[in-house]
Amino acid sequence: MVYAKQQVTLTREHHIPDVLLTAYEASEVSCGNSADGITKTGTRVVAGRTIAVDPSLIPLGSKVVINGHTYTAEDVGGAVKGHHIDIYMNTVSECMSFGKRYADAVWLEEYDAIQTVKYTFENGTLISQEVVAEEEIK
């Protein structure tokens, strides 16, 4: 048996039930006079990736899974509060077709940890490995 410590990045899942889903696009229709296609995090909006969230619930930069699709929380909105996510789309007509709907979301929180792993060998061949301890790095 051999014990080894390793630093790893792990993911916690935070389930957020019954999230109100709406859609927005980067024109003055959705974003007002300041519309420029640049998110709160400084990235350019991308359909299929960018969502606006309430950062008191979901931190900016986080990955969020909605109906099996993974988005990135890159933006905020004046009306986006609590269990409400605004999904970026390319056109006003796409947004109007999307309308309002509800779904469960999963916020994926990444964190660093140190794991102690027990490796078991038999005749020089690894036969098992097991994480025996884990400590989150703060």
Q: What is the pLDDT of residues 87-116, one digit of tens each?
A: 999 999 999 999 999 999 999 999 999 999
Q: What is the pLDDT of residues 113-129, one digit of tens each?
A: 999 999 999 999 999 99
Q: If pLDDT is split at 50, 70 and 90, which confidence band does 66 have?
A: very high
Residue 28 pLDDT: 74
Q: Is the pLDDT of residue 34 over 90?
A: no
Contacts made by residues 40-47, CB under 8 angstroms, sequence distance 24+:
40/74, 40/75, 40/76, 41/74, 41/75, 43/74, 45/74, 45/75, 45/88, 46/88, 47/88, 47/89, 47/90, 47/94
pTM of the model: 0.83
Distance CA 49, CA 26 (A): 14
Picking from 35, 90, 41, 83, the residue whose alpha carbon sits closest to that of residue 62 is: 41
